[in-house]
Amino acid sequence: YDDRDGVIWMDGKLVPWRDANVHILTHALHYASAVFEGERAYGGKIFKSREHSERLKRSANMLDFEIPYTVDQIEDAKAEVMKANGMTDCYVRPLAWRGSGPDMGVASEQNPVRMAVAVWEWGAYYGAAKMKGAKLDISKWKRPSPETVPSQAKASGLYMICTMSKHAAHAKGCTDAMMFDYRGYVAEATGANIFFVKDGEVHTPKADCFLNGLTRQTVIELLRDKQIKVHERHIEASELEGFEQCWLTGTAAEVTPVAEIGDYNFEVGALTHDIAETYEKHVRA
Ligand code: PMP
């Protein structure tokens, strides 16, 4: 995967894919001082491109560093690397991090902040689950309190428990894992937000300790446009049993139905299909 054709935008230059390396003493590799984005381009246009670039800048600020590029420059970088790779429908991965330099300990005031943008083709994130519904494990890890981590940042360090949760899920034959938060409320999956349907109304966890996804926000708007009631609230574990439908939202996941969470089953029903289709049309509009 390292040894392939294509180019990656790195610190203002396009470099061959196989040469896009960093030094082993990169601060981010040791201390997780990195933030990133996940975006999708449809027909040559990145959905909510500017919002993603703005979130990248904000995530860096939440980790106490400044990306040395403006939102406009980040927009140009994404367009440039897509064009150079001849891609119109792809996943876009900007990454910003504290690099290597005189600081080798925890502090990193003197090391340069670096940035890269890679693009690649990425089909359905959950594969076949996109059609028949994902099977979710229940993770043993909890989303931490916003007093413990900068939970609204899309920060690499916050994914440590996601990778472990997802591996545990795969080992049990599941597609992904659902995580509870530090209080025991339903939170999200390892890389996507979660929604439930009951009696024709939609319920989704209040985004007060996890990423308030751009897809989540879009889907809430699309549902409200359809005059469907959406409740953003704390959801107890005991409520899982009573929900009829469930789906995940995320840039990579788009709208993916959920068929099972632990011992609970959900119907891949009409509203799930409807919102998945509406989202698909919306991103291409
Ligand atoms: N939660 C987590 C942990 C994620 O990684 C993502 C994907 N970025 C999301 C939620 C959904 O965010 P978005 O809709 O902005 O892609």
At residue 130, the pLDDT reads 84
Any domain includes 149 = yes
Helix ranges, the chain (H): 27-31, 49-62, 71-84, 129-132, 160-171, 214-225, 270-284
Catalytic residue, chosen from 83, 154, 166, 226, is 154
Final residue in a domain of this structure, among 92, 120, 148: 120
In this structure, the answer to whether residues 261 and 209 fall within a common structural domain is: yes
Q: Which of 47, 91, 211 to mutate to test the pocket of ligand 1 (most atoms within 8 A of CB)?
A: 211
Distance from the alpha carbon of residue 190 to the mean position of ligand 1, in angstroms: 8
pLDDT score at 23: 97
CATH number where 219 lies: 3.20.10.10
- Which atom of ligand 1 is closest in space to residue 52's alpha carbon? 15
Domain span at residue 196 reads 129-284
Task: Kindly state if the Cβ of 191 falls inside 6 Å of ligand 1.
Answer: yes
Considering the domain architecture, whether residues 113 and 142 belong to the same structural domain is answered as no
ipTM > 0.85 for the complex: yes
Do 112 and 143 reside in the same domain of the chain? Answer: no
Q: Which uninterrupted H or E stretch holds 261?
A: strand 254-261
- pLDDT (tens digit, 9 = 90+) per residue, 214-227? 999 999 999 999 99
Closest CA to 189 of 250, 131, 109: 250
Q: What is the pLDDT of residue 123?
A: 86
154 given a catalytic annotation: yes
pLDDT at position 127 is: 84
Residue 255 lies in a domain: yes
Q: How far is the CA of 253 from the centre of ligand 1 (A)?
A: 9
Expressed in angstroms and rounded, the spacing between residue 183 Cα and the centre of ligand 1 is 21
Q: Do 115 and 15 reside in the same domain of the chain?
A: yes
Task: State whether 173 and 238 are in the same domain.
Answer: yes
Measuring CA to CA, how many Å separate 15 from each of 85, 113, 120?
A: 11, 18, 15
pTM (global) more than 0.90: yes
Percentage with pLDDT > 90 across the chain = 95
Mark which of 120, 146, 161 sits at the end of a domain: 120
Structure tokens at 119: 């693009």
Give residue 190's pLDDT band: very low, low, confident or very high (50, 70, 90): very high
- What's the confidence (pLDDT) of residue 128? 83
Does residue 1 fall inside a structural domain? no
CA of 212 to the centre of ligand 1 (A): 7
Same domain for 216 and 103: no
Last residue of a domain, one of 64, 97, 120: 120
Ligand 1 pocket, 133 CB below 6 A?
A: no
**Ligand 1 pocket residue status of 257, Cβ below 6 Å:** no
- Domain with residue 74: its CATH number is 3.30.470.10
